[in-house]
Amino acid sequence: MTAQSIETVATEATTPAHGAEITVPLNRLKASPKNARKTPHSPATIEAFAASIKAKGVLQPPVVEIERDGEGVPTGSYLVSIGEGRRQGLRLLAKRKAIKRTHPVRVIVDAENDAHEISLDENMTREAMHPADQFEAFQRLAVEKGYGPEEIGARFGVSAHVVRQRLRLGSAAPELMAAYRAGTLALDQLSAFCVSEDQDRQRQVLEQVGPHTPAYAIRRAMTEAKVSVGDRRVRFVGVETYKAEGGGILRDLFTEDGGGWLEDVVLLDRLVGEKLSGLADEAREREGWKWAEPALDYPDVSAFGRVYPVAVERSEADAAEITALSEEYDRIVSEAGAEGLSPEEDARLEEIDKSLQAFGPDFDYAAEAKARAGVVVMLGHDGLARFERGLVRAEDAVAPPPEEEAVEDCGGDADAERGGRAPEPEEVGSALSDRLVIDLTAHKTMGLRDAVQADVGAALATVVHALALQVFYPGYGLWTPLQLRLSVSGLERLAPGVDDGPAGRRVRDRCEAWGARLPERAEDLWGVVFGLAPSDQLDLMACCAGVGLYAVRDPHDRRPGALAQAETLATVVGLDMAGTWSATAASYFTRVPKTRVLEAVTEAVNAEEAGRIAGFKKGDMAEAAERLVEGKGWLPPVLRTVSDAAEPEDESASEPRDDDAYAFAAE
């Protein structure tokens, strides 16, 4: 049949009979208004029809009805009662110029049945293939015909990624596939098992978990000996570096982010150690430190002494040039209009940046300090390297003078201290008996108390000086007549990672900022402190007081009065630990009984969610609780500020305890 004869309008004499199989040009096929399917096919479905037809042709001829005009005369076109998706797939191919608009299509004419009814019948009296059959069929195409994911996807109108997922599911252990067909295993659970292609491991985990185990718990069991790509060690080293060393990666084909796990943990740890060591050696050679060490975990830096950077001395010419460049930079930025910087202005800012960088930092460590101090390069919890500079080992610390001399050295006036040592006790009282010297200096002490009480500025400077000595000059804490003793206790050994948390970093940054402003020698501290503005003195005092706080509730260290005062202080400063700490499986839920986990979920979410996870195993419950309370700001009672936590008070009242002031310590 020629194309010309095909396009000839049909007459009653040429109208095909019922059941006839004829060939019709694509542009003569129309959608039937009697089609029972009113919701149009999705673009993905039409794409799949087009891909299948392009690869294999129209396997099942559409069923059509003869179109007639108002007088009942055939128009030469046909209405598709069954097979509208195939017609849409053909039209998509024609739109893409893969076939002509007049492409011949084999169809079957239905001239007796109601078009609406047979359309409804077509969509109702059929059962979709079980997904397991599809997975295995895709697997068979890959094995028997050697088709790759891209080719299979092109032949069925799906993405290569979807094909890879189905191929992975199709290669699941037979026991898993049987359970999936029987309905005892859901698709998300099957996907969790198939995160790994190791069928032996799949069978092993299947024996360990129950039928109601959530998918994330199955996935965790399948990968428990591996390291997630989100691990800080992986972020630090980089997946590409690990792969370049021959490390294997297990990719999760069933999550949106395409995450995975590194299988060679030994290799990963070696790469982390080598990179940290390289950074440490580089810092020592470039910056001139006496020593440098790598550390995978955050060390307890309180075990070290500290030196701090000092202001870099500059010539008048350099200082003037820095000032001029800085002012020019600020002027260009401030005068930029709504359109932003011009290319010339942007280029000038880059030149200024380079010129300012050439002068080096405003603060740096003295050569003498670097000669006895070092740097620790550690892996932070965010996967970035952190440099703790200016750490002094015990054997490198400058030994302070004997305590007797240290106390008397700070007894003179500021001018004497800045100019040199105050007179030794033997020099002022060598002709007097010890008893008389004690008597006289007792009177002098009382006079000093009276004078300091009358001079608020001197009193503030005295307190700040005593605190700063003990915080920033270890070993020189007795270089003050003020009987104020401050202990600085490290917390890292009690709670690993606390120094690198949000609050820990803020505390460290404040101390480093003040350390850069204070003098290198303890003998020069008084002159600097006394010369500070009162607001700066108060700021320094707050920095020191904060470092000296210790509110750890240790059952072996019973300090009910101090702990009660810590709660009062937390209320006064409005402490909100939700911005510093969050409840996770590692930080809380795996470390408390199940009843506490369920209480937390009930408080943070609701009792229904708590009941849903009540039957989980401990590890699964902890992970589920972490997901449920995430972003809720929930805190355990011991971390809540008392004034904002009526619930903890009620709870603690029902628990046995020794006294009210020690309520939280008993928990």
The CA R_g of the chain, rounded to the nearest whole Å, is 40
More confident residue, 89 or 121: 89
DSSP one-letter code for 230:
T
User: Angle, to 10 degrees, between the axis of helix 534-548 and the axis of helix 456-472?
Assistant: 40
Shared domain for 471 and 600, answered yes or no, is no
Percent of the chain with pLDDT over 70: 85
DSSP for 146-166 reads: ---HHHHHHHHT--HHHHHHH
More confident residue, 445 or 346: 346
Would you say residue 471 has pLDDT above 70?
A: yes
Contact in structure between 490 and 300 (CB atoms under 8 Å): yes
* pLDDT the model gives residue 439: 67
* pLDDT the model gives residue 618: 84
Shared domain for 441 and 505, answered yes or no, is yes
Place of tokens 């209405």: 79
Which pLDDT band holds residue 300 (cuts at 50, 70, 90)?
low
Contact in structure between 515 and 306 (CB atoms under 8 Å): yes
Percent of the chain with pLDDT over 90: 15
Residue type, 181: R
Query: What does each C-alpha distance from 50 to 24, 91, 170, 276 come to in angstroms?
Result: 18, 8, 25, 55
Which pLDDT band holds residue 211 (cuts at 50, 70, 90)?
low
289: three-class secondary structure by DSSP: coil
Shared domain for 483 and 576, answered yes or no, is no
- The 10s digit of each residue's pLDDT in 586-624 is 888 988 888 899 999 999 999 999 998 988 888 888 989
Q: Is residue 151 a part of any domain in this protein? A: no
H-type alpha helices, 473-559: 502-517, 525-531, 534-548
Domain boundary among the residues 334, 368, 395 is at: 395
Would you say residue 134 has pLDDT above 90?
A: no
* pLDDT the model gives residue 431: 67
Average pLDDT over residues 272-294: 92
Shared domain for 403 and 544, answered yes or no, is yes
Q: Is residue 245 a part of any domain in this protein? A: no
Q: Which of 110-124, 196-210, 251-265, 459-473 has the lowest mean pLDDT?
A: 251-265
Shared domain for 416 and 500, answered yes or no, is yes
Neighbours of 454 (CB within 10 A): 9
Q: Is residue 198 a part of any domain in this protein? A: no
Would you say residue 140 has pLDDT above 80?
A: yes
β-bridge mates for residue 593, sequence order: none
Overall domain count for the chain:
4
Q: Which of 393-407, 576-590, 595-609 has the lowest mean pLDDT?
A: 393-407
Would you say residue 290 has pLDDT above 90?
A: yes
* pLDDT the model gives residue 601: 94
Question: What does the CA dihedral 427, 432, 433, 434 come to, rounded to 10 degrees?
Answer: -40
Mean pLDDT of the chain: 80
Dist CA 74 CA 103 (whole Å): 21
Would you say residue 282 has pLDDT above 90?
A: yes
Count Cβ atoms within 10 A of the Cβ of residue 52 and give its class: 0-12 exposed, 13-18 middle, 19 or more buried. middle
Would you say residue 79 has pLDDT above 90?
A: yes
Helix (H) or strand (E) holding 328: helix 316-334
* pLDDT the model gives residue 628: 93
Q: Is residue 156 a part of any domain in this protein? A: no
Q: Is residue 616 a part of any domain in this protein? A: yes
Dist CA 587 CA 381 (whole Å): 13
Question: Closest Cα partner for 102 from 29, 210, 1?
Answer: 29
Would you say residue 291 has pLDDT above 90?
A: yes
Shared domain for 436 and 544, answered yes or no, is yes
Would you say residue 330 has pLDDT above 60?
A: yes
Q: Is residue 137 a part of any domain in this protein? A: no
Cα dihedral sign for 71, 73, 75, 77?
positive
CATH code, 43: 3.90.1530.10
Helix (H) or strand (E) holding 251: strand 249-251
Average pLDDT over residues 414-425: 36
Q: Is residue 606 a part of any domain in this protein? A: yes
Which pLDDT band holds residue 292 (cuts at 50, 70, 90)?
very high
Q: Is residue 222 a part of any domain in this protein? A: no
Shared domain for 514 and 584, answered yes or no, is no
Which pLDDT band holds residue 399 (cuts at 50, 70, 90)?
low
Shared domain for 565 and 660, answered yes or no, is yes
Shared domain for 525 and 619, answered yes or no, is no
* pLDDT the model gives residue 578: 86
Shared domain for 541 and 609, answered yes or no, is no
Dist CA 600 CA 5 (whole Å): 79
Average pLDDT over residues 560-569: 78
Dist CA 438 CA 432 (whole Å): 10
Domain boundary among the residues 105, 124, 143 is at: 124
Shared domain for 386 and 404, answered yes or no, is no
Query: What does each C-alpha distance from 576 to 31, 423, 640, 645 come to in angstroms?
Result: 65, 51, 7, 11
* pLDDT the model gives residue 406: 38
Would you say residue 108 has pLDDT above 70?
A: yes
More confident residue, 449 or 190: 190
Give the range of the structural domain holding residue 473, as residue numbers without chain letter.
399-548
**Exposed e or buried b for every residue in 141-160, given b needs 16+ CB within 10 A?**
bbeeeebebebbbbbbbbee
Dist CA 137 CA 143 (whole Å): 10
Dist CA 12 CA 233 (whole Å): 79
- The 10s digit of each residue's pLDDT in 16-37 is 888 888 999 999 999 998 888 8
Angle at Cα 79 formed by Cα 76 and Cα 81, nearest 5°? 150
Dist CA 586 CA 220 (whole Å): 14
Query: What does each C-alpha distance from 373 to 107, 109, 290, 376, 391 come to in angstroms?
Result: 88, 93, 6, 10, 5
Shared domain for 588 and 521, answered yes or no, is no
Strands 74-82 and 63-68, sheet pairing: antiparallel
Domain boundary among the residues 95, 124, 153 is at: 124
* pLDDT the model gives residue 664: 31
